Amino acid sequence: MHAAIGHRIRYEILYRLVHGREMSPKELEAAMTVDDSTLHYHPNELVGVGLVEKRQRTERGQDGLYSYYRATVFGEVTLSDGVDELIRGEHAFEEMYDGSNQL
């Protein structure tokens, strides 16, 4: 799981899904400005470790199934109570021990 969340693109995908809403691959591609071949691999890694789930549904008036990704509860907790908390702690640590703040 650490390897899955440790990649910048996968972190951004999870962040967008936790702080936004479910998104289709095309919506993720447009929001992140990455090509679809790159994007295809990364959400599946997040699905594989249970941080994101993939749903398929039909759209009214259109043929075929459309895929959507959304964060799982585990993904939300991992990001907000795990990774985001680590980042906040790291920023606080840097501010506390920054050489420019010494007397």
The pLDDT, as a whole number, for residue 84 is: 60
- Quick check: 40 and 54 in contact, CB under 8 A? no
User: Hey, what domains does the chain have and what are their CATH numbers?
Assistant: 2-101 (1.10.10.10)
The pLDDT, as a whole number, for residue 23 is: 93
CA gap 34, 78 in Å, rounded: 24
CA gap 48, 95 in Å, rounded: 36
Crossing angle (nearest 10°) for helices 36-48 and 25-32 = 120
Query: pLDDT per position in the chain (103 positions), as tens?
Result: 667 777 889 989 999 999 988 999 889 988 998 877 778 889 999 999 999 999 987 776 677 788 899 999 888 888 877 766 666 666 666 777 775 555 5
Q: What are phi and psi of 58, to 5 degrees?
A: -95, 150
- Quick check: 13 and 69 in contact, CB under 8 A? yes
